[in-house]
Amino acid sequence: MTLSANEKPHKNIFETILARRSVRAYAPNELDRNTIQKLLEAAVRAPTAMHEEPWAFIVVQNRQVLKQLSDRAKPLFIERLHRTHHTNVHAIDTFSNPDFNIFHNAGTLIVICAKPSGHFVEADCWLAAENLMLAACAIGLGSCVIGSSVEALNTPEAKAELNIPAEFDAVAPIIVGVPSGETAATSRKKPLILAWKQ
């Protein structure tokens, strides 16, 4: 079963912001090319410093490639946890499990890439990522940033396999798909206002 990009958004922007979740369970549905194209169109409408529009995209829908990327990313992420003195035993145990898929069995990974050529390139990519995730939510899809895959995506081997040019870096990897079940809302702190001068 595929989801068509012709499905109209059913939420206004505030409803969409409040409804967005980091989804970590996906149905086996495949997303069609038109749906992904619509998400990319939303991404490139993001604000961009000095109108640079530095983003470029890699779309991975091959589940075997996603599994190989997951297997490559897990030990690198564990090394990073040790290197940065993070002692989250649960995370280390999870990423040590050979059956754990860091992409949560989603069938689509969209990687926002850019050349590291300016002060605001990464910020621009993350703004594009938020647009993409809100657009996904608006049409009933789930998404989740998979930061634990960045180091693996930027290895020469992964860049070669995914056709990421050497001068580009993977910045924002996002899985997208049809959610399997409901993802509960998480609490958020109230805005911390440091000053309000009138």
Please give the pLDDT value at position 10.
64
If 0-12 CB within 10 Å is exposed, 13-18 middle and 19+ buried, where does residue 43 land? Answer: buried
The position carrying tokens 């998979």 is: 146
Average pLDDT, the chain: 93
Residue 19 scores a pLDDT above 70:
yes
Please give the pLDDT value at position 90.
87
Chain segment 138-150, per-residue pLDDT in tens: 999 999 999 999 9
Q: Is the dihedral of CA 182, 22, 163, 54 positive or negative?
A: positive
Q: Is the dihedral of CA 129, 130, 131, 135 positive or negative?
A: positive
Residue 79 scores a pLDDT above 50:
yes
Return the structure tokens found at 99: 């059956």
Please give the pLDDT value at position 8.
59
Model-level pTM? Answer: 0.92
